[in-house]
Amino acid sequence: MNCMIFPQIYPRFTLAFRELSTRLGLQISALEADHISLRCHQNTTAERWRRGFEQCGELLSENIINGRPICLFKLHEPVCVEHWRFSVIELPWPGEKRYPHEGWEHIEIVLPGEPETLNARALALLSDEGLVSRG
Which CATH number goes with the domain that contains 62?
Answer: 3.10.180.10
**Considering only 50-54, 61-65, 101-105, 116-120, which range has the smallest mean pLDDT?**
101-105
- Which domain does 77 fall in, by range? 1-12+31-110
- Does a structural domain hold residue 119? no
- Show Cβ contacts of residue 38 under 8 Å, excluding neighbours closer than 6 positions: 49, 89, 90, 91, 92, 102, 103, 104, 105
Residue 118 lies in a domain: no
Residue 34 identity (one-letter amino acid): D
β pairing state of 84-92 and 57-65:
unpaired
pLDDT digits (tens, 9 = 90+) for 55-82: 999 999 999 999 999 999 999 988 888 8
Q: Does residue 17 belong to any structural domain of this protein?
A: no
Give the whole-number percent of the chain exceeding pLDDT 90.
46
* Cα–Cα distance for residue pair 93/37, rounded to 1 Å: 11
Residue 42 lies in a domain: yes
**Collapsing DSSP states into helix, strand and coil, what is residue 18?**
helix
DSSP 130: H
- 32-39 and 84-92 as β-strands: parallel, antiparallel, unpaired? parallel
Whether 135 is in a domain gets the answer no
Please state, in angstroms and rounded to a whole number, the distance separating the CA atoms of residues 43 and 47.
Answer: 6
In a domain, 91, yes or no: yes
Mean pLDDT in the chain?
A: 87
Does residue 30 register a pLDDT over 60? yes
Residue 49 in any domain: the answer is yes
Distance (Å, rounded) from C-alpha 34 to C-alpha 87? 9
Residue 130 reports pLDDT greater than 80: no
Read off the pTM: 0.82
Q: Does a structural domain hold residue 55?
A: yes
pLDDT of residue 1: 41
Res 50 pLDDT > 90: yes
CB distance 56 to 3 below 8 Å: yes
Q: What is the model's pLDDT at position 91?
A: 96
Count: domains in the chain: 1
